Chain A
Amino acid sequence: MTGPVAISPPILSVRDLNVDARTPEGRKPVLQNVSFDLAGGETLCIAGESGSGKSVTSLSIMGLLPKASLKIASGSILLGDRDLTKFSDRAMRSVRGGEIAMIFQEPMTSLNPVISIGTQLTEAIREHQGRENAEAVALQMLDAVHITEPARRMKQFPHELSGGMRQRVMIAMALSCRPKVLIADEPTTALDVTVQAQTLKLMRELKSEFDTSIILITHDMGVVAEMADRVVIMQNGRIVEQGDAVEIFARPKESYTQQLLAAVPRLGAHAGTSGPPRITPVSNETAAADRSPILNVRGLNVSYGSTAGKLFKGKPPVSAVKNVSFDIAPGETLGLVGESGSGKSTTGKAVLGLIPFTGHVMIDGQKIGSLSQREMQPVRRSAQMIFQDPYASLDPRMAVGRAIAEPMVIHGIADRSEREDRVAELLRRVGLTPDAATRYPHEFSGGQRQRICIARALALHPKLIVADESVAALDVSVRARVLDLLLELQETMRLSYLFISHDMAVVEKMSHKVAVMRDGSIVESGTRREIFENPQHNYTRALMAAVPIPDPQVHRRLA
């Protein structure tokens, strides 16, 4: 691993950068006095939660700020001795993609769907390096990012490639003109852990091979620890703290940095205990064992694209969930982990009867699947769901109180004034004030919205909650508080959770039992201690090995 480089002038230097947003109420500062240097061959991580200004910083460097809403108010961005803030659009074009290149978070949407991979690669090379050997350079680049059969890939289109491959193509594209600086904005956030590990490894490899300095923007302190030589911590548009990575992780000076690091879930942090950490002081764990399960699943199968009964038979159905079985006891959490496409979300929907399935599913003693819509109604009361995206799962035109009361209205529970009391109580229960009931979702932050979704799920006194990636969209510090809320509710209300997540550390914190899914099947299941302290299946081990560890010294030792 490259250590700090000997004193040489920085490749890129951001000095007292101020960026303003134009709002109807006038100008509002988005970035305030941001200053940092990027040395040659260095990886600088800019870390922070949403709204910290880390992406605005990178867009400023690229000259890609949306003109209508954001503007550099003062400060300079020096590339060598040239100030990029003084560059014309035309001059900036030769810098973009040539001297400074960028890769983005969403590999699925960052490539143009109607243009072949080859054309998208070569057009950047032609733009900056002339047209003679663009094809050859493109092939070389695909090879450099370890894409097999590069010649065939050149003719393919983005939808034919997996997310990880697309991000490799993005990296190949960004590095094809041998930029001095590569800005990577959350490059692995949308990828599975194992793919993330491969992508980060690739970036480290290519950094020395192409002699590029990297600015890595991320919210994930594990990724920071794995990649950074130096770290810049941002909050609300300002730099809170910056310095050597080892130093920041070992001795964070500012309280915000300390909080941020403390909130990071660490794999193995709960080793030696059999259940999630207790939030409330009372203990009543005795009765759990002999009760019949709330959710009993045997031989669950789900397939998509079934054409049975249609006149023209099309493709054969795709099997999304294969022969899955598990139990969840009252007051217990089963963590269902796996990567995208493993069938974990499909399993969650199937056990609530939201999609057609075959097999045996019993919720609170009631066998579902054969039930009609009307017969399902009371079963639904005892099982509710919390979704991933709190922004998309609340109706923007429905007041929060109405949204929470809606399940009660549908099930005909309580009259109007009783419902209002219940809503107020539920809001208090999830840590909001009752006056939230008259406000609308856009007035709340992501974490608050997820609390509202939890209140809505609790409205019918369910016994089982299916939480599908319920904290994945939240910032780390908010995530930790929502997880604590879920644990507290479980203890006081004896809720059972089917906790679906791709995040191993979160699952470790939340679960009593764990099932690992891959390609629609459960490859390994057991108590939390069995899975996390003594994993048997290779895939489980690979998953755990791929999780970045939020401690730079661990990596330095390994490297």
Chain B
Amino acid sequence: MAFLFFRRLVQIALILLGVAAITFLLLYALPADPARMIAGRSATAQTVANIRRELGLDQPFLVQFWTYLTNLLQGNLGRSYAQKTDVATLIVARLPATLTLMLAGIVVEVMLGLLLGTIAAVRRGGIVDRLVMMASFVGVSAPQFVVALLLLYVFAATLGWFPMSGYGTFAHVVLPALTLGVLGAGWYARMVRSAMIDVLNQDYVRTARAKGLSARRIIFRHALPNAILPIIAMIGIDIGQFMGGVVVVEAVYGWPGIGQLAWQAIQQVDIPIIMGVTLTSALAIVLGNLLADLIAPVIDPRIRTR
């Protein structure tokens, strides 16, 4: 177990290194010149050249990458060009907001998906099943900014139940989390439904029925844990999808997280911040997968290693 865990950590380090290399290369190949952006439009060529030298942008690619890597290994993510602040500090300051949003979004998507999927599977072929499937289809196909605007219009502007934007209280989290979770909930509802239908036809569910157990116990104790297994692996992979959604949702709701930070940085060609946010997201994804792999054996005794 300890050995497997160690192997996973080595894999994670290699993945992050790969992500760093690819992102760095892409940003280097970008036609926009950060030095010119910083200097402003009226600056002379001499000023631009000075800034470039100052930032080390005149060095060959491999030298630049090496410098970045060695700094990275010392925990130094560099300084923002535009904000003249340490990138790590900027990200750490905004991380709690984003983590709150993501966690709430995952809770929404998993809970909603499990609930709707299970109901649909149990009532297979009925009206409830059809309604759930239709709703999940809409959820899967609706673009996130449309969902966001719709929710804002109904629950904030018209009904006034929740604030339009901002951060700080529970009420602030509700609409962003719903926006983020609705898409995934649609996917999960469909996956849970088909997994449940499969499980409900298994021999061990027949055994449970032959024992005279109640429908509730059969569904929640016997069927659901089996149906949930493939879903857990999905959640790990899903965090990547989530990062994309976070940028949109944070922009629409004025949520002060790293999605917003990334959005500004892209407009300003603030390469250290873009790199920092990308690496943070990559870390979140690999950790999410690791977590999923650690949770799976808790539910499934067959993959527990002794």
Q: Does A64 contact B (CB under 8 A)?
A: yes
Q: Chain B, 177-208, contact with A by CB distance < 8 Å: what is the 0/1 string?
A: 00000000000000000000000001110111
Interface residues of B in 1-31 (CB under 8 A from A): 7
Instruction: Check A113 against B302 for contact (C-beta < 8 Å).
Output: yes
Partner of B226, one of A101, A102, A106, A112: A112
Q: Does B299 contact A (CB under 8 A)?
A: yes
B3 (CB) vs chain A CBs: closest residue: A312
Instruction: Check B212 against A94 for contact (C-beta < 8 Å).
Output: yes
Instruction: Check B210 against A102 for contact (C-beta < 8 Å).
Output: yes
A98 (CB) vs chain B CBs: closest residue: B212
Residues in B whose Cβ lies below 8 Å from that of A127: 211-214
Q: Chain B, 220-232, contact with A by CB distance < 8 Å: what is the 0/1 string?
A: 0110011001000
Residues in A whose Cβ lies below 8 Å from that of B217: 123
Partner of A97, one of B125, B210, B221, B225: B210
Q: Does A111 contact B (CB under 8 A)?
A: yes
In the assembled complex, the CB of A158 is this many whole angstroms from the nearest CB of chain B, namely: 8
Q: Does B300 contact A (CB under 8 A)?
A: yes
Instruction: Check B301 against A114 for contact (C-beta < 8 Å).
Output: yes
Q: Does A15 contact B (CB under 8 A)?
A: no
Instruction: Check A114 against B207 for contact (C-beta < 8 Å).
Output: no
Instruction: Check A96 against B210 for contact (C-beta < 8 Å).
Output: yes
In the assembled complex, the CB of A538 is this many whole angstroms from the nearest CB of chain B, namely: 34
Residues in A whose Cβ lies below 8 Å from that of B209: 64, 96
Q: Does A492 contact B (CB under 8 A)?
A: no
Residues in A whose Cβ lies below 8 Å from that of B222: 112, 115
Known pairs A104-B207, A157-B302; A114 contacts B225 (CB<8 A): yes
CA of A128 to CA of B213, assembled, Å: 9
Instruction: Check A109 against B302 for contact (C-beta < 8 Å).
Output: no
Instruction: Check B299 against A62 for contact (C-beta < 8 Å).
Output: no
Q: Chain B, 289-306, contact with A by CB distance < 8 Å: what is the 0/1 string?
A: 000000000011110000
Known pairs A109-B204, A114-B301, A159-B301; A64 contacts B7 (CB<8 A): no
Residues in A whose Cβ lies below 8 Å from that of B229: 114
CA of A64 to CA of B207, assembled, Å: 10
CA of A110 to CA of B302, assembled, Å: 16
CA of A94 to CA of B7, assembled, Å: 52
Interface residues of A in 67-118 (CB under 8 A from B): 68, 93-98, 101-102, 104, 106, 109-116
Q: Does A124 contact B (CB under 8 A)?
A: yes
Q: Does A170 contact B (CB under 8 A)?
A: yes
In the assembled complex, the CB of A504 is this many whole angstroms from the nearest CB of chain B, namely: 28
CA of A94 to CA of B212, assembled, Å: 6
Q: Does A46 contact B (CB under 8 A)?
A: no
A108 (CB) vs chain B CBs: closest residue: B203
Q: Does A173 contact B (CB under 8 A)?
A: yes
Instruction: Check B204 against A95 for contact (C-beta < 8 Å).
Output: no
Instruction: Check B206 against A114 for contact (C-beta < 8 Å).
Output: no
CA of A423 to CA of B210, assembled, Å: 48
Majority-rule SS of B interface residues: helix
Partner of B212, one of A104, A113, A124, A157: A124
Instruction: Check A114 against B203 for contact (C-beta < 8 Å).
Output: no
Q: Chain A, 294-313, contact with B by CB distance < 8 Å: what is the 0/1 string?
A: 00000000000000000010
Instruction: Check B204 against A110 for contact (C-beta < 8 Å).
Output: yes
Number of interface residues of B (CB under 8 A): 24
A107 (CB) vs chain B CBs: closest residue: B203
Instruction: Check B226 against A64 for contact (C-beta < 8 Å).
Output: no
A109 (CB) vs chain B CBs: closest residue: B203
CA of A544 to CA of B185, assembled, Å: 58
Instruction: Check B226 against A97 for contact (C-beta < 8 Å).
Output: no
CA of A106 to CA of B206, assembled, Å: 11
In the assembled complex, the CB of A12 is this many whole angstroms from the nearest CB of chain B, namely: 16
Instruction: Check A157 against B211 for contact (C-beta < 8 Å).
Output: no
Known pairs A113-B300, A123-B213; A312 contacts B226 (CB<8 A): no
Most buried by B among A94, A113, A128, A312: A113
Residues in A whose Cβ lies below 8 Å from that of B301: 113-114, 116, 157, 159
Instruction: Check A93 against B212 for contact (C-beta < 8 Å).
Output: yes
Residues in A whose Cβ lies below 8 Å from that of B214: 93, 127
CA of A470 to CA of B91, assembled, Å: 65
B223 (CB) vs chain A CBs: closest residue: A112
Q: Chain A, 109-153, contact with B by CB distance < 8 Å: what is the 0/1 string?
A: 111111110000001100110000000000000000000000000
Residues in A whose Cβ lies below 8 Å from that of B299: 114
Instruction: Check B212 against A109 for contact (C-beta < 8 Å).
Output: no
Most buried by B among A96, A102, A104, A114: A114
Instruction: Check A110 against B207 for contact (C-beta < 8 Å).
Output: yes
Q: Chain A, 388-417, contact with B by CB distance < 8 Å: what is the 0/1 string?
A: 000000000000000000000000000000
In the assembled complex, the CB of B148 is this many whole angstroms from the nearest CB of chain A, namely: 38
Residues in A whose Cβ lies below 8 Å from that of B207: 104, 110-112, 170, 173
In the assembled complex, the CB of A111 is this many whole angstroms from the nearest CB of chain B, namely: 6
Residues in A whose Cβ lies below 8 Å from that of B210: 62, 64, 96-97, 101-102, 104
In the assembled complex, the CB of A491 is this many whole angstroms from the nearest CB of chain B, namely: 42
In the assembled complex, the CB of B4 is this many whole angstroms from the nearest CB of chain A, namely: 10
Most buried by B among A111, A112, A124: A112
Instruction: Check B203 against A106 for contact (C-beta < 8 Å).
Output: yes
Partner of B204, one of A96, A97, A112: A112
CA of A420 to CA of B202, assembled, Å: 42
Instruction: Check A96 against B212 for contact (C-beta < 8 Å).
Output: yes
CA of A104 to CA of B226, assembled, Å: 20
Instruction: Check B204 against A111 for contact (C-beta < 8 Å).
Output: yes
Most buried by A among B125, B203, B302: B203
Residues in B whose Cβ lies below 8 Å from that of A173: 207, 211
Instruction: Check B203 against A110 for contact (C-beta < 8 Å).
Output: yes
Interface residues of A in 170-192 (CB under 8 A from B): 170, 173
B228 (CB) vs chain A CBs: closest residue: A114
Instruction: Check A109 against B202 for contact (C-beta < 8 Å).
Output: yes
CA of A132 to CA of B130, assembled, Å: 43
CA of A111 to CA of B226, assembled, Å: 12
CA of A94 to CA of B213, assembled, Å: 9
CA of A226 to CA of B125, assembled, Å: 45
Residues in B whose Cβ lies below 8 Å from that of A123: 211, 213, 217, 221
CA of A179 to CA of B257, assembled, Å: 62
CA of A116 to CA of B202, assembled, Å: 17
CA of A109 to CA of B201, assembled, Å: 11
CA of A111 to CA of B221, assembled, Å: 13
B202 (CB) vs chain A CBs: closest residue: A109
CA of A102 to CA of B212, assembled, Å: 11
CA of A102 to CA of B207, assembled, Å: 8
Instruction: Check B206 against A112 for contact (C-beta < 8 Å).
Output: no
Instruction: Check B212 against A97 for contact (C-beta < 8 Å).
Output: yes
In the assembled complex, the CB of A364 is this many whole angstroms from the nearest CB of chain B, namely: 43
Residues in B whose Cβ lies below 8 Å from that of A111: 204, 207
Apart from A68-B125, A96-B210, A157-B301, 20 more pairs, CB < 8 Å: A64-B209, A93-B212, A94-B212, A96-B209, A97-B212, A102-B210, A104-B203, A106-B203, A111-B204, A112-B207, A112-B222, A113-B302, A114-B225, A114-B226, A114-B229, A114-B300, A115-B221, A115-B222, A123-B221, A127-B213
What are 23 A-B contacts with C-beta separation under 8 Å?
A62-B210, A64-B206, A64-B210, A93-B212, A93-B213, A94-B212, A97-B211, A97-B212, A101-B211, A104-B207, A110-B204, A111-B207, A112-B204, A112-B208, A113-B226, A113-B301, A114-B301, A114-B302, A123-B211, A123-B213, A123-B217, A127-B212, A159-B301
The 4 nearest A-B residue pairs measured at CB: A97-B212, A97-B211, A96-B212, A157-B301
